[in-house]
Amino acid sequence: MNESPAELPPSTDSEPAPERQRFFHFWRCFWLTFLVVSLAYAWYCFYVPANDIAWADGYSLAQQQAADAGKPMILYFTGQWCVPCRVMKRQVWADEEVKSVVNEQFVPVAIDVGSPDNAELLTRYNIGGTPVTIVTDSQGNALRWRVGGIGKVEFLDLLAGRDSSAAEEE
């Protein structure tokens, strides 16, 4: 047997080790930053702050409260899975001006479209998606409505009975 040490082939690595370390360090930092930003964005999308809206416990109770107080109702059709609903809850319903107008002048009720108990309401108001915001009289007759996510200004216009699309065209 030949007892001479085995010769290793010459290294074909022309890149110095410090440059390779910097390269891998860059990508490690990049992916770590990407992960942190992605998690922060996901938390922001699904986080909904608590609001001080005096929500009625159900449609029939809201209708009774509206009749007793002589106030119109706000029917807010929503779902736990609805991202535009969460955005509205964060940007519209949590606003102080909206809170004061709604609590003083309306009886609000949030209606979960995923609940089988609300199937009759979905049929009555012809709800096909979420979010839908309907202003009704105390008897439940629809006065005004908006389909889809809306911002604070458009929401306040809806409550006041102003047509925000006509104001934008002028």
CATH no. for 59-169: 3.40.30.10
The confidence score (pLDDT) of residue 21 equals: 80
Per residue in 75-88, pLDDT (tens digit) is 999 998 888 998 89
Give buried/exposed letters for 38-61 (b at 16+ CB in 10 A, else e). Answer: eeeeeeeeeeeeebebebbebbee
Question: Which pLDDT does position 34 carry in this prediction?
Answer: 93
CA–CA distance, 157 with 152 (Å, rounded to integer): 9
pLDDT digits (tens, 9 = 90+) for 113-167: 999 999 999 999 999 889 999 999 999 999 999 999 999 999 999 999 876 554 4
pLDDT for res 164: 55
pLDDT at position 24, please? 83
- Domain-by-domain residue ranges, the chain? 16-47, 59-169
Measured CA to CA, the distance from residue 49 to residue 41 in angstroms comes to 15
* Mean pLDDT over each residue of the chain, to the nearest integer: 85
